[in-house]
Amino acid sequence: MPDQAHLLPGTLDLLILRAVSLGPLHGYGILLRIAQISGQALMVEQGALYPGLFRLVRQGLLKTKWGVSDVNRRAKFYELTAAGRKRLQDETESWTRLAAAIACALSAQPEKL
């Protein structure tokens, strides 16, 4: 495995929402999708995914339905709800702002102060 970044607390929800926003996925699929879209940089511990998923379902951000996976196994698929889409948008904006602010802070040069 390549270098892995630590998952910041609170970012798992955002990653799940983003992964699912690209198309309905089952649990294992979400893990693979997160690894894929983060360039294999972010790996979620497999077990930790599920409490996060259920929390999002309970909050009404995800909805589920049973289907068949690409390897012909029965699996529960997760989809964004309208509220989930809205949340993803909000969270993405605030994350971008935060990331930009931190990047800016870290790149500050002493002579420019």
Partner 1 sequence: MRLLDAMRARWAALVHRSAMREELEEELRDHLQHRADDLERSGISRVEAERRARIEFGGFEHYREESHAALGWHWAKTLLRDLRFGLRILKKSPAFTAAAVSALALGIGVNTALFTLVRGILMRPLPVRSASRLVVIWGSNPGEGLSRVGPSGQDYLDWREQKIHALEDLFLFEHGTGTVTGNGDPEQVAGLRVTTNFGSFFGIVPVVGRTFLPEEDNARHSLAILSYRYWRRKYQGNRAICGQSMTLNGEDYTIIGVLPASFEELFPVDVVVPFDNEWLHRADSDLGVFGRLRPHVTVRQAAAEMSETMARIARQRPDRKGFGTVLVPLESVRMEYIRPALLVLQCAVGFILILACANVANLMLSRGMSRRQEMAVRISLGATRKQIVRQFLVESSLLAILGGMLGLLLALGSVHLWARYGPTRIPVPNAAYEVTLPAVHLGMSEIVFTLVASLVTGILFGLIPPLRLFGGNMQDALKNGGRGTIGEVRGRGTRTVLVVVEGALALVLVVGASLMIKSFSRLLSINPGFDPNRLLTLRIKLSEDAAGSPYRDPWKRGAAFHDFLEHVRGIPGVQSAALTEIVPLSQDDMDRGPFAIQEKAGSNVTPSADYRDISPGYFQTMRIPLLQGRNFAESDDAKHPRVVVIDQTLAREYFGTENPLGRHVVLPYGSRIPREVIGVVGAVRDSSLSGAAEATIYFPYMQGPDQTMSMVVRTALPQNTILPEIRDAIWSVDRNQPVFEVRSMPEIMGNVTSAPRIAFILLDILALVALVLAAIGIYGVTSYNVGQRTQEVGVRLTFGAPPNAILCMLVRQATTLTLLGVGAGLLCGLLMTRLMSSLLYGVSSTDPVIFLGATVLVTIVATIACYLPARRAARVDPLVALRSE
- Taking CB under 8 A as the rule, does residue 21 contact partner 1? no
Of residues 22-61, which lie at the interface with partner 1 (CB under 8 A)?
Answer: 26-29, 45-48, 50-55, 57-61
Determine contact, residues 5/42, Cβ cutoff 8 Å: yes
Question: What's the CA gap between 3 and 31, in Å, rounded?
Answer: 17
Of residues 84-113, which lie at the interface with partner 1 (CB under 8 A)?
Answer: none
Determine contact, residues 61/89, Cβ cutoff 8 Å: no
Locate all alpha helices (DSSP H) within the chain, ordered by sequence.
11-21, 27-37, 46-58, 82-106
Least distance CB 3 / partner 1 (angstroms): 19
Least distance CB 20 / partner 1 (angstroms): 15
- Given the rule CB under 8 A, which residues bind partner 1? 26-29, 45-48, 50-55, 57-61, 63, 69, 71, 73-76, 81-83
